[in-house]
Amino acid sequence: MEHNGGLRGWAMSGLRVLAVAGAYFAAAKLGLQQELVRGQVTPLWPPTGIALACLLLMGVRIWPGITLGAFLVNVTIGPTILAVAAISVSNTLAPLCSYLLLTSVGFRRTMNRLRDALALVFLGALTGMLVSATLGSGVLFLSGVLEPGEFWGTWSVWWTGDAMGVLVITPLLLVAARPIGLPQGVHPARYVEAAALLVSTLVVTLVATMSPVNLLYLVFPFLIWAALRFRLPGAAVCALIVTTVAIVSAAHGSGPFARHDLLLNMVSLQVFNGSAALTALLLAAIIAERNQAHRNIEQICARLIEMAVRLERGQAAAPRPSTRPGRQPPANRADSGSY
């Protein structure tokens, strides 16, 4: 029985690794549709967000799936097999570093605290993804794929793509993994509001990214609306819409991203997308923390009321001494002088 249980455990682990590799490969093919440098560097790299979410949900043992998926993607576009292997290692190390950084500060997958959102932004995305951007760009440079003047442009796109994959994809997957059913007793107006929010966010972002005037920051009221009314699920979805449309616009050099070079566009894109994701995630976390504090206060008040009621009932049920006028308790015979 123990032998069969061990085989079953190994089989399940193998299936998880293959599933992670498949998801990584499919997301990479989707992300490469917006490549900007040498057919393999893109401003949004969804596999990184998938890799980090899988590590947070299933543990560090699924890292071979990340490596396998990265190798299968890069082997068809990489310059040499050695460079492909090195890039695959860098694509594995980056989410692993982010995972270790997040676990070291007690990150919660529910992201219902402000510190969790801050950790995901600054440790998971901006810090951890420096590993893949630096190693990957360095490998391309040493392989002769990049000219000396192309290094920093490639590095900026690589870092932007990996960081945005974490900021946009990871929260969405963590929300989707929650064991929560359909909400009960929700007024139909809430569904209408949610649909209006998604459509409005998409339309405003499209208009802002097509206009020659920089109107990108018009999307922030909609991100605030999403976080206030729908918390992390709404904020994550709207952030995905906003950042995806902005990345497509930057990749095609349209709207506010026209007439600029690659490095300047990537800096502008990273500032905007980082600000959008930061606003959505942090505000959603603040609202969740406030609601949790409100629930805790309600529970404490309910317990205090319950204790007060019990004390009052206990005092009412306790026997009371007689206080009739003119009646004194009988004197002790020894003290009355009677023999």
Sign of the torsion formed by the C-alpha atoms of 76, 155, 52 and 291: negative
**234, 172 Cβ separation under 8 angstroms:** no
pLDDT of 339: 35
- Whether 266 has a pLDDT exceeding 80, the answer reads no
pLDDT at 47 over 70: yes
pLDDT score for 333: 47
Question: pLDDT tens-digit profile of 90-119?
Answer: 999 999 999 999 999 999 988 888 889 889
Angle between helices 262-317 and 151-164 (to 10 degrees): 20
Amino acid 198: pLDDT: 94
pLDDT at 328 over 70: no
pLDDT (average), residues 137-149: 84
H-assigned helices in the chain: 2-31, 46-58, 63-74, 81-104, 114-119, 130-142, 151-164, 170-176, 188-210, 220-252, 262-317, 333-336
What is the distance between the alpha carbons of residues 74 and 207, in angstroms, rounded to a whole number? 35
- Please give the C-alpha separations between residue 185 and each of 174, 191, 268, in angstroms, as whole numbers: 24, 12, 43
Q: For 9-38, how does the pLDDT look when each residue is reduced to its tens digit (9 = 90+)? A: 788 888 999 999 999 999 988 887 766 655
Tell whether the model's pLDDT for residue 224 goes beyond 90. Answer: yes
Predicted confidence at residue 176, as pLDDT, reads 87
Min mean pLDDT across 67-71, 158-162, 206-210 is at 158-162
pLDDT digits (tens, 9 = 90+) for 51-90: 999 999 999 999 999 999 999 998 887 778 888 899 999 9
**Taking the model in full, what pTM does it have?**
0.80
> Residue 253: is its pLDDT beyond 90?
no
